[in-house]
Amino acid sequence: MAWFSSGRITNPVTDAVLVDTGPLSGGSRSVKVIGSATVAAVFELQLRNAANNATLKSQILAVPASSTGQIDFESMDITMADSERLRVIAVAGVTGSVSVSLDVA
């Protein structure tokens, strides 16, 4: 598995890209998303097309204040074409600190 991490981000704005895998090779993958925040926050996992100009699929992850949330796609495969990518964005601006990780296999 490859681990992609945002590190600690303070006060991200709406639609800020928090973590991005960059272009990946095509194939079937399992993915785990972990998000933490010092305040209530909402993140969105996005599967982006090869040109990185459109979201093909997405899933929201809401995290309560001072907590951790997780999306686990290990039990179902995500099929990706060459050069597609995964990224996580902030759905709304946050006044506080957030951290997001993607674990991709």
Give CA–CA dist 94/4, Å, rounded: 21
Residue 37's pLDDT band (boundaries 50, 70, 90)? very high
Q: What structural domains and CATH numbers belong to the chain?
A: 2-104 (2.60.120.260)
- Single pTM value for the model: 0.93
2 phi, psi to nearest 5 deg: -105, 135
Q: What average pLDDT score do residues 19-40 get?
A: 95
58 phi, psi to nearest 5 deg: -155, 160
**100, 30 in Cβ contact below 8 A?**
no
The 10s digit of each residue's pLDDT in 41-55 is 999 999 999 999 999
